[in-house]
Amino acid sequence: MRTISVIYGTLVLSVIAWACCTNGFAAEPKQTIRCAVIGGMTDTGLWAGVAKRFEDQTGHRLEVVADGNKREIAPVFKEGQIDVLTMHSSDTIVNLVADGYGENPQPWTRNDLLIVGPPSDPAGIRGEKDAVAALKKIVATKSTLLTHGSVGTNEVLSNLLAVGEIELDPTRVIALPTDKHRRMLERASQEKAYTLVGRIPFLNSKIARHDMEIMVQGDTRLRRPYLVIVATRKEPDARYEAARQLAAFLRSHETQVWLKEFGKGVYDDQPLFFPVTIKKE
């Protein structure tokens, strides 16, 4: 009888344990991951698409606490109100990591720039696929080039000039020290100058085009990467682990494949954002 009682007791405990698991008592609680997202991702619906896919797959919820430009979202991250931040690769995001606020910066997508110019196209670069060749023609024809206060855009321009060993004529360059009010296309139009601008804000008219037209697009060297970082935690918890899960999801193969199709046909036949190359370990 004692043996039967022991077996019966063991069975009862097993049933109770199984019932607890099936009712979710033993399951890991789902987390709300607080995010800071650069404005272009929310404006285009990219982040909403990412959030839906991640939430459906994991059960975690994403909450956008801050969106806008890097000057707006970086301070919120420093205040400890954010679990995951994504923005363009820049000194801003690198310094957040260097100062101990975030960790493990990883590229996960890119956007791209255009070279735009006046309808008269004095350098004859309309339709050119090689951005370096286009810049050489701008210099050779003594056409005007306008640069502006976007650090990322100027970095892309500097890389193109270095690749082509191009030296700009300072008398044919107009340098705007800042562009807080996004007036560079207005000024470029007035001066009949060429300039670099983001493809998405140009196509969706977030920046007024004036009479500027697309001259060069599609060169992969005109692309800029976005990074994702996770907030550093002295004592990692379930939310921290969920944030790491989100960062890994952004770099997953399935997300990279999804990016190739996202937004195609909205403005042109290209996706709004581009995948990055992630080598298998």
Q: What does the DSSP assignment read for 172-209?
A: GEEE-S--TT--HHHHHHHHT-BEEEEHHHHHTTSS--
Specify whether 97 is located in the same domain as 136.
Answer: no
Task: For residue 146, give its domain range.
Answer: 112-222
Domain count, the chain: 2
pLDDT confidence of residue 281: 61
Specify whether 91 is located in the same domain as 149.
Answer: no
Specify whether 95 is located in the same domain as 132.
Answer: no
- In-domain check, residue 138: yes
Kindly tell me if the per-residue pLDDT of 26 is higher than 70.
no
- In-domain check, residue 94: yes
Specify whether 105 is located in the same domain as 240.
Answer: yes
What is the per-residue burial (b if ≥16 Cβ within 10 Å, else e) of 52-81?
eebeeebebebebbbbeebeebbebbeeee
Specify whether 61 is located in the same domain as 77.
Answer: yes
Q: Which of 169, 201, 222 lies at the terminal end of a domain, its last residue?
A: 222
Q: What is the mean pLDDT of residues 254-276?
A: 97
**Residue range 101-119, pLDDT digits in tens:** 999 999 999 999 999 999 9
Pairwise pLDDT comparison (55 vs 69), residue with the higher score: 55
**Residue range 263-273, pLDDT digits in tens:** 999 999 999 99
- In-domain check, residue 7: no
3-class SS of residue 60: coil
Pairwise pLDDT comparison (181 vs 247), residue with the higher score: 247
Direct distance between the N- and C-terminal alpha carbons of the chain, in angstroms, rounded to an integer: 58
Specify whether 53 is located in the same domain as 86.
Answer: yes
Specify whether 241 is located in the same domain as 206.
Answer: no
Specify whether 85 is located in the same domain as 173.
Answer: no
pLDDT confidence of residue 25: 34
Pairwise pLDDT comparison (9 vs 53), residue with the higher score: 53
CA distance 174 to 199: 21
CA distance 216 to 196: 9
Q: What is the mean pLDDT of residues 31-59?
A: 97
Domain with residue 97: its CATH number is 3.40.190.10
CA distance 85 to 51: 14
CA distance 159 to 164: 9
Specify whether 213 is located in the same domain as 118.
Answer: yes
The half-sphere exposure of 134 on its side-chain side, counting CA atoms within 13 A, is 26
Pairwise pLDDT comparison (150 vs 228), residue with the higher score: 228
pLDDT confidence of residue 24: 39
Specify whether 141 is located in the same domain as 213.
Answer: yes
Whether 228 and 250 have beta carbons less than 8 Å apart is answered as: yes
Kindly tell me if the per-residue pLDDT of 197 is higher than 70.
yes
Specify whether 42 is located in the same domain as 133.
Answer: no
Q: Which amino acid is at 210?
A: H
- In-domain check, residue 63: yes
3-class SS of residue 42: helix
pLDDT band at 10 (very low <50, low <70, confident <90, very high): very low
- In-domain check, residue 23: no
Specify whether 119 is located in the same domain as 74.
Answer: no
pLDDT confidence of residue 150: 77
* pTM, to two decimals: 0.86
- In-domain check, residue 182: yes
pLDDT band at 27 (very low <50, low <70, confident <90, very high): low
pLDDT confidence of residue 181: 52
Running DSSP on this structure, what letter comes out for residue 63? E
φ, ψ of residue 153 to 5 degrees: the values are -65, -40
CA 126 to each of CA 123, 169, 186, 199: distance values in angstroms, whole numbers, following the listed order: 8, 21, 20, 16
pLDDT confidence of residue 159: 96
* Residue 232: burial class (beta carbons within 10 Å; 0-12, 13-18, 19+): middle
φ, ψ of residue 213 to 5 degrees: the values are -130, 155
The mean of the pLDDT values for the chain is: 90
**Residue range 167-185, pLDDT digits in tens:** 999 999 999 887 655 788 9
Residues 6+ apart with CB under 8 A from 167: 139, 161
Whether 84 and 38 have beta carbons less than 8 Å apart is answered as: no
